[in-house]
Amino acid sequence: MDVVRDRCKDCAKLSLQELFAETKDMNEVITLFLATLELVKVQEIQLLQEENFGNIYLIRK
């Protein structure tokens, strides 16, 4: 979860695509995705999708 927190604090809006861009394997993608869901659950970040099938953005609260 620290990786997601650190990446979110550097910019106002971070896309999931950018977050996953530096991953090395599928296990890392899954771990980052689950960490993202947990941060949404505890209301540290918010997810935003501006249009159907568009990019999903992480926004720090």
pLDDT digits (tens, 9 = 90+) for 42-58: 999 999 999 999 999 99
Here the CATH number for the domain that contains residue 39 is 1.10.10.580
Q: Of 30, 29, 16, whose CA–CA distance to 59 is shortest?
A: 16
Q: What is the 3-state secondary structure (H, E, C) of 1-61?
A: CHHHHHHHHCCCCEEHHHHHCCCCCHHHHHHHHHHHHHHHHCCCEEEEECCCCCCEEEEEC
What pLDDT shows up at residue 27? 96
Phi, psi of 57, deg, nearest 5: -110, 145
What pLDDT shows up at residue 34? 96
pLDDT digits (tens, 9 = 90+) for 21-33: 989 999 999 999 9
Name the residue range of residue 17's domain.
1-60
Structurally, the chain folds into a number of domains equal to 1
Rounded-to-integer distance, Cα 1 and Cα 7, Å: 10
Please give the model's pTM, rounded to 2 decimal places: 0.86
